[in-house]
Amino acid sequence: MTRTSVLRGLIPLAATLPLCLVYPAIAVKINANYGSFQDTELTVLQDAVKEWADLLPCKDGMSISVEFHCDNTLPSDVIGRTSVTWRDRGFVESADITLHNSALYFTMTPPGQWDAAHQNATDALSVAKHEMGHALGFGLAPARFAQGLVSNEGIDFYNMNGNETFEAGDFRVDLELHDEGIPQPHAFSSHDVMYWSLPARTRRVPTVTDAQVLANAYGYCVPEPTGLCTISILLALASGIRIPRSRRSPA
């Protein structure tokens, strides 16, 4: 993650893995270790973890360990970095998040209320939430995420609808970013927490949509969908109709 441009989660490329079925949902528990972070820094990191945990509300089941580290020797433009260790079947086992503390402003105060000394500061809370998204699997590797990526008519997106055509409900991504030649997808919308850059004095939060993308890729438990989608699924199950697996194509 850079202060002025790229927000990167350095995730190793994995071999092709079987597609993930969204149902049944997999409960996930986030176990965070905050190392030497204290006081306000600790409060900020705990809030970043809690916000994602609230979007993935099942507390029992698969456990993901997240370790937070501080490294002020990182290059001046690198403010966050995430590496992930994967389980055999392509699920996240653990993640290490490294933050460049001296380049960040740790506070729970909304940016609009920051004092004059921090008008050009970079929000540590937004950076931590972005890196947590990578820690939970938002990235090209392994194939559970990559197989949901589609490029069609100049638009890159995560294929939520399963028909390989960009429609409402799909999640548009930016595949222009690369790490050592490997695409590193981020959100296309500049308002999303997984967007690739973070302006000064800006705060972003993960949304239900972000969680649903991860749920589609890894089967995480998320709040039940509402509306016609839920009704259609219930009717299909009641009728004994088999709900087909979503079609996914690598980008």
pLDDT tens figures, 140-155:
666 789 889 999 999 9
pLDDT above 80 for 16: no
With contact defined as beta carbons under 8 Å apart, do 9 and 134 qualify?
A: yes
Asked whether residue 5 is assigned to any structural domain, the reply reads no
Split at pLDDT 50, 70, 90, the class of 228 is very low
The more confidently predicted of residues 33 and 231 is: 33
pLDDT above 60 for 250: no
Mean pLDDT of 219-227: 66
Asked whether residue 15 is assigned to any structural domain, the reply reads no
Give the model's pLDDT for residue 109: 97
Mean pLDDT of the chain: 80
Number of domains forming the structure of the chain: 1
Give the model's pLDDT for residue 58: 63
pLDDT above 90 for 177: no
Asked whether residue 158 is assigned to any structural domain, the reply reads yes
Asked whether residue 203 is assigned to any structural domain, the reply reads yes
pLDDT above 50 for 248: no
Question: Read out DSSP for the chain?
Answer: -BSSS------------PPPP-SS-B-EEEEEE-TT--HHHHHHHHHHHHHHHHHS---SSEEEEEEEEE-TTS-TTB-EEEEEEE-TTS-EEEEEEEE-GGGSB--SS-GGG--GGGTT--BHHHHHHHHHHHHTT-SS-SHHHHTTEEEETTEEEE-SSSSSS--BTBEEEE---EETTEE--EESSTTSTTBS---TT------HHHHHHHHHHH-B--PPP-THHHHHHHHHHHTTPPPPPPP----
Asked whether residue 142 is assigned to any structural domain, the reply reads yes
Six-digit token string for 118? 């921090």
Percent of the chain with pLDDT over 90: 55
Split at pLDDT 50, 70, 90, the class of 157 is very high
* Of 220, 223, 186, nearest in space to 22 by CA: 220
Split at pLDDT 50, 70, 90, the class of 31 is very high
Asked whether residue 95 is assigned to any structural domain, the reply reads yes
The more confidently predicted of residues 27 and 119 is: 119
Asked whether residue 12 is assigned to any structural domain, the reply reads no
Bridge partners (DSSP) listed for residue 123: 105
* Of 1, 11, 128, 10, nearest in space to 77 by CA: 1
Structural domain for 221, as ranges:
28-238
* pTM of the full structure: 0.79
Split at pLDDT 50, 70, 90, the class of 229 is very low
Asked whether residue 59 is assigned to any structural domain, the reply reads yes
pLDDT tens figures, 54-111:
998 765 567 899 999 999 998 888 899 999 999 888 889 999 999 999 999 999 999 9
